[in-house]
Structure 1
């Protein structure tokens, strides 16, 4: 999710398409929050592990 967010932010910035930039930024933030929650061992959405 983080990688997809970075790709969309870069594409949105290069092509000048603001919706790609916005969606990419949202995905990037969500991915970072999930990474942070997972790294501290907190269950996300009721699951301790995602397989």
Structure 2
């Protein structure tokens, strides 16, 4: 989710499409929150592990 957010932010910035930039920023933020919650051992979405 972080990688997809970064790709959308870069594409939105390069192409000048603000909706891509906004969606990418939201996905990036959610991905970072999930990364932090998962790294401290907190279950995310009812699952402790995602594999």
**In the aligned structure 2, how far is the partner of 1:38 from the partner of 1:12?**
28
**TM-score normalised to structure 2 length:** 0.95
Deviation at 1:45, TM superposition (A): 1.3
Unaligned runs of 5+ in 2: none
Aligned to 1:5: 5
**TM-score normalised to structure 1 length:** 0.95
**In the aligned structure 1, how far is the partner of 2:17 from the partner of 2:34?**
26
The 4+ residue runs of structure 1 with deviation greater than 6 A are none
Aligned to 1:18: 18
Alignment length, in residue pairs?
51
Unaligned runs of 5+ in 1: none
RMSD: 0.5
Aligned to 1:49: 49
